[in-house]
Each structure stands twice: as C-alpha cells, then as structure tokens.
Amino acid sequence: MTTTTTTTPGSLVKKTEEEWRAVLSPEQFKILRERGTETPGTGEYNKFFEEGIFCCVGCNTPLYKSSAKFNVECGWAAFYEGFPGAINRRPDPDGEGTEITCAACDGHLGHVHKGEGYGTPTDERHCVNSVSIKFNPAKSSSETPPEETS
C-alpha cells in the first residue's frame, strides 16, 4: 500500500501514526516510521539497475535518479546522491553514523557514508532500505504516442 500524492522537496507531509499505518504495509511502517532496517541482501532494489526515478514509498517524493545508483556489495541499494533538497541528514541516534530521511515526510531511508573510496562523484554512499522507496520506470520511446503528420 502506498499513497498516490506526489510531493516536492520543501513541502511537508504530516500524518498521525494511525494515518501512516493505514497507507503503509507493516514492514514499510517499521522501517519508514520506526527507523528500522531491512535484512541485508533482501531488498528488491539491492541489485536493480533499470532506468527511472526512485521515490519515497510514504509520500511519493522523488529522491534518487537511477543514474546515481551504483553496484556495491553492502546489502542495500546504494546511491551517491539524491535530488537537491529531497533528503535530510542527521546524526543517527546511536551516534554511529548519519541517518538519511525523506525531506517531505521524515521517513527513514537509511544511512549515508562518506570517504569509502568507491570512486563516485560525491565520495558518498547512501545505503537505502528498498522498503523505503519505490521505482518509477523511465518512459520508453515506444510508450510515446507518434506525432501527427499532415
């Protein structure tokens, strides 16, 4: 279950716990709202490399382009950057790292790691729970209606 509203970075989505439970699966709620973590290597997008956009499963805010995704053996979907203003960072409550959340709904996405030497343009790895995101495929040219001719 997901919401169908699309939000943009800078707009805030506020819901009660009951409202979140109504639109998220139990697993999505545990990770997005209770800041859980999916089991490494089990996420749908861990080894997924199709062209499109990854959005927040809670509010549909665009978070990552597929071109920012890279292959690394960490067990979670890895991106080197998100859309500007779409992702917030804060010290993880355990003091061990930096948590990343959706800027629109404050949903927990995962963690960001810097300076690991993967050769990405930002030298960052956004380690994202697949349960926190959903994929919207790029429109292929075959899906575009042909132009009318006179």
* From 55, 56, 59, 127, active-site residue: 127
- Binning pLDDT at 50, 70 and 90, where does residue 11 land? low
Backbone angles phi, psi at 103, to 5 degrees: -70, -25
Domains belonging to the chain, first-starting first, are: 17-137 (2.170.150.20)
- Binning pLDDT at 50, 70 and 90, where does residue 12 land? confident
Average of per-residue pLDDT across 62-70: 97
Residue 144 has pLDDT above 80, yes or no: no
In this structure, what token pair is assigned to residue 16? 């009660």
pLDDT digits (tens, 9 = 90+) for 90-108: 998 777 789 999 999 999 9
Predicted local confidence at residue 97, as pLDDT:
85
In this structure, what token pair is assigned to residue 89? 């960072």
Q: Which residue has the higher pLDDT, 36 or 144?
A: 36
What value, to the nearest 5°, has the Cα angle with vertex 104 and ends 101 and 106?
35
In this structure, what token pair is assigned to residue 46? 């861990």
Cβ-contact 125, 69 below 8 angstroms? no
105 is catalytic: no
